[in-house]
């Protein structure tokens, strides 16, 4: 370990000593979501399964509650339900990463775990430099840095980052998020036989050729399903359009086919993955059972970020729960992974509740903030569900539309996100101390949000606008 790394790790250790207790005492601290011990978390990185454990790394600034020189934090788990916080995997200690070990991915080869990440550098002239770097581990916990394996090719600005590697046939492939010299977002492709030497293949999507536009496409990921390929991207610079693209930055996918020889991804339109407020930079992995699992940053670098009340407790942001993906008729469906059932503690159910138009019903009896609710709509009609007097889910049965509202952190006004759902049959809700993830109709749509209700308020109030009937199955969830 060099002096620089030692110095940075000591500074982190001291800061954890000083603030961890305070962070843990925050009533908004989440119960079963992955969090930074202190400091700021953003993207999930290096999702992988190695030597019997799932490994989820994450972008972490342990030295401040703001964006800066990122480390790679690390959690591991046998079952996606119970997690262990591991030692820091990557420290931004070398010249080629001195302003951050930025986002990247992991693959297993020859019994080793290979991490690919972006070395972010602001040089002495204040200009950005970018290096795609490699670090290798035998035990999945300690990493040996191999330095840059890819430097910036011609035709791009230094906004060139977030390598995602996967194997197709016998060849390793890597997609990278990029900005062309003309200022357009793009995804580029590299291939390799040995994970060390990489060949530039070309631009597979974006670069002004797509209707979508945007000035930078971050965090690409290429998923192979039996039905076809899916390219995930997190584009920046997309203007809002009716109910779409309401967040500062978007995350979504295009289905199609990657042709490596011509280096083209022919594809359809872009769809957002999550229609809520706090969802960005998702990454996926395939596990031993062949499941495609997605996790995202449950946050956003928008104007509300500086107002998060958790900043007073020296931490900010979390990861979403892991979701299993399925591609069905061109649509990516997302469902909470089955393992989350292990978190279920107390159970509570209401077999069939009928509400007449205008009636209110308070769902009581759980007494905790962290819980899961499965609501089956047995007789459809318009209704709303008010969560802890702070957020609201509203279903308009006539218009076929679901709206999620919450209070903004900066000016206290109400903001909303909307999705068209012709008929809501099922709402599956994951609630934590300051988050909600709503899965509609078995993952047809998902809406994710952080929200900060009054701490002791755990009320859930149903309000029918028309006659409705539904059943509720609920579980308290432990950490």
Binding footprint of ligand FRU on the chain (CB under 6 A): 42-43, 59, 70, 102-103, 118, 161-162, 218-219, 280-281
Structure tokens at 354: 């009928």
Residue 384, number of CB atoms within 10 A of its CB = 17
Q: Does the annotation count 79 as an active-site position? A: no
In Å, how far from its chain's centre is CA 390? 23
> Could you tell me the smallest distance in angstroms from the CB atom of residue 118 to ligand FRU?
5
C-alpha pair distances (Å), 336 with each of 34, 222, 294: 15, 21, 10
> Could you tell me the smallest distance in angstroms from the CB atom of residue 411 to ligand FRU?
25
Cβ proximity to ligand FRU, 151 vs 171, nearer residue: 151
Question: What is the CA angle 378-382-386, rounded to 5?
Answer: 95
Q: Give one DSSP letter per residue of 406-437, joined into a string.
A: EE-TTT--EEEEEEE-S---EEEEEEETTEEE
Q: Give one DSSP letter per residue of 56-119, joined into a string.
A: EEEEEETT-SSS-S-EEEEEEESSSSSEEEPPPSB---SGGGTT-EEEEEEEEETTEEEEEEEE
> Could you tell me the smallest distance in angstroms from the CB atom of residue 213 to ligand FRU?
18
- The residue from 43, 210, 229, 278 that is catalytic is 43
- The C-alpha atoms of residue 65 and residue 311 are separated, in whole angstroms, by 7
| Residue 17 DSSP one-character state | H
> Could you tell me the smallest distance in angstroms from the CB atom of residue 117 to ligand FRU?
8
User: Is 379 in contact with 467 (CB distance < 8 Å)?
Assistant: yes
Cβ proximity to ligand FRU, 75 vs 439, nearer residue: 75
Q: Coil, strand or helix: which one is 152? A: coil
> Could you tell me the smallest distance in angstroms from the CB atom of residue 281 to ligand FRU?
4
- The C-alpha atoms of residue 405 and residue 428 are separated, in whole angstroms, by 17
Structure tokens at 45: 């990185």
Cβ proximity to ligand FRU, 68 vs 346, nearer residue: 68
> Could you tell me the smallest distance in angstroms from the CB atom of residue 280 to ligand FRU?
6
Which residues face 427 on adjacent strands?
Answer: 375, 440
Active site residues per annotation: 43
């Amino acid at each position: 370990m060099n002096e620089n790394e030692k110095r940075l790790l000591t500074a982190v250790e001291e800061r954890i000593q000083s603030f961890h207790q305070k962070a843990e005492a925050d009533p908004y601290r989440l119960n079963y979501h992955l969090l930074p011990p202190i400091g700021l978390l953003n993207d999930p990185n290096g999702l992988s399964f190695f030597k019997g454990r799932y490994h989820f790394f994450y972008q972490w600034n342990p030295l401040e509650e703001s964006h800066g020189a990122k480390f790679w934090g690390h959690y591991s788990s046998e079952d996606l339900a119970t997690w262990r916080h591991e030692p820091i995997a990557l420290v931004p200690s070398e010249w080629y990463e001195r302003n951050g070990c930025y986002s990247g991915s992991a693959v297993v080869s020859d019994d080793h775990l290979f991490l690919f990440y972006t070395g972010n550098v602001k040089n002495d002239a204040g200009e950005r430099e970018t290096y795609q770097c490699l670090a290798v581990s035998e035990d999945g916990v300690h990493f040996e840095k191999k330095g840059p394996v890819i430097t910036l090719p011609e035709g791009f600005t230094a906004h060139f980052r977030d390598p995602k590697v996967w194997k197709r046939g016998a060849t390793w492939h890597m997609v990278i998020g990029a900005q062309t010299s003309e200022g357009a977002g793009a995804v580029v492709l590299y291939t390799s036989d040995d994970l060390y030497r990489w060949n530039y293949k070309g631009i597979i999507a974006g670069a002004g050729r797509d209707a979508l536009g945007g000035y930078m496409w971050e965090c690409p990921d290429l998923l192979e399903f039996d039905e076809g390929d899916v390219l995930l991207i997190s584009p920046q610079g997309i203007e809002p359009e009716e109910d779409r693209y309401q967040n500062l930055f978007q995350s979504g996918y295009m289905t199609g086919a990657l042709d490596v020889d011509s280096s083209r991804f022919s594809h359809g339109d872009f769809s957002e993955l999550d229609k809520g407020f706090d969802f960005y930079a998702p990454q996926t992995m395939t596990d031993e059972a062949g499941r495609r699992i997605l996790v995202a940053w449950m946050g956003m670098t928008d104007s509300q970020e500086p107002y998060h009340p958790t900043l007073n407790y020296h931490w900010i942001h979390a990861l979403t729960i892991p979701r299993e993906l399925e591609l069905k008729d061109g649509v990516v469906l997302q469902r909470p992974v089955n393992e989350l059932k292990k978190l279920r503690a107390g159970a509570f159910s209401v077999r069939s509740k009928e509400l007449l138009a205008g009636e209110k019903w308070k769902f009581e009896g759980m007494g905790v903030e962290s819980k899961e609710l499965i609501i089956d709509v047995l007789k459809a009609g318009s209704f709303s569900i008010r969560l802890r007097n702070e957020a609201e889910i509203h279903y308009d049965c006539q218009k076929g539309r679901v709206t999620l509202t919450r209070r903004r952190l900066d000016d206290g006004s109400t903001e909303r996100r909307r999705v068209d759902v012709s008929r809501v049959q099922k709402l599956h809700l994951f609630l934590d101390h300051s988050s909600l993830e709503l899965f509609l109709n078995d993952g047809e749509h998902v809406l994710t949000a952080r929200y900060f209700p009054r701490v002791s308020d755990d009320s859930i109030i149903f309000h029918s606008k028309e006659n409705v009937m539904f059943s509720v199955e609920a579980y308290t969830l432990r950490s």
